[in-house]
Amino acid sequence: MIHQQYFLGIDGGGTKCKARLESQNGELLGEGLSGPANPAQSADIAFNSIIDAAAQAVASANLPTETIKTLHVCLGLAGVNIPAYRGLAEAWKLPFANTLLTTDLHIACTGAHGGQEGAIMITGTGSSAFASVDNVHTIMGGHGFPLGDKASGAWLGWRALSATLESMDNLMPSTPLTDAVCEQLQACKSVDIVAKALHFRSSDYAVLAPLVVAQAKQNESLATSIIEDGATYLTAVLLRLSELNPQRLTMIGGLASYWSDHLPDNIQRLLSPALCSPEYGAVALARQAFKEA
């Protein structure tokens, strides 16, 4: 009787949870997609999303439901770099055979480098950096908006909106970018913008990021200065990452290709393309942790 091993990778974030199920020899068997899985937001919701995504992956592979008990799993979750939230996830009674718990950053890095070690700079709604070199993990950034997340979509939008309000106070001239912000928000008075922005979250600011990118393409001066500040920050982080001597260095996330084109040549030369997805990285880590000899 052939003893088949199954490896499941989970990528759990603030809005969704993805699962990828592979066979012993690396064949993709099934996938799953469910809701939020960030224990820093809600440990109960995260637990349910993980079970849901895993069950979907087993079902889509046409495997019996009880296969879930035999899975070798790597969970890559947002928030678990913070000890208190890691503790919540460690306390879960999960139904799998084995579970490796790590950060969303670790699986994204492993995926970007095709299952190997390396370093990544992520720029999407937020920003953060991660390196795995000789099994030593380094996290940079990821401080959350407004404390950090420089060069992220939220940061770009926040810079644009903040400047728009200063222009309305006549502390600086209005510009094509500040005009575009007013148009997108359908607000032409400072008080209307403040009212709209009163409960803005990172994702609301990030909606304005494409305006900065579009204006910078036209060489608009305000947009250009924001992009220059972001590029300066990314350059500093990427240089720090490269000093750790990672095998590969890659930018990922929604803004990665934009930023890659706007960094100094000597920095661009350090970068390699992303190879695979975070959930692929999670499967690779599950395989490294639990594969039978």
Sites of contact with a copy of itself (CB under 8 A): 40, 81-84, 139-148, 158, 161-162, 165-166, 169-171, 190-195, 197-198, 200, 233, 236-237, 240
Which of 1/171 has CB closer to a copy of itself?
171
Strands 127-133 and 136-141: antiparallel
Which of 188/195 has CB closer to a copy of itself?
195
Minimum CB separation of residue 146 from a copy of itself in Å reads 4
Q: Which two tokens stand for residue 266?
A: 């000597």
- Closest by Cα among 73, 87, 65, 63 to 20: 73
Minimum CB separation of residue 264 from a copy of itself in Å reads 16
Minimum CB separation of residue 198 from a copy of itself in Å reads 7
Which of 97/270 has CB closer to a copy of itself?
270
Amino acid making up residue 136: V
> With 0-12 CB in 10 A as exposed, 13-18 as middle and 19+ as buried, what is 133?
middle
Side-chain-facing half-sphere of 231: CA atoms under 13 Å? 20
Name the 3-class secondary structure at 124.
Answer: coil
CA distance 248 to 115: 12
Distance of CA 274 to the CA centre of its chain: 13
Minimum CB separation of residue 191 from a copy of itself in Å reads 6
Which of 28/84 has CB closer to a copy of itself?
84
Minimum CB separation of residue 255 from a copy of itself in Å reads 19
Which of 4/15 has CB closer to a copy of itself?
15
Side-chain-facing half-sphere of 123: CA atoms under 13 Å? 23
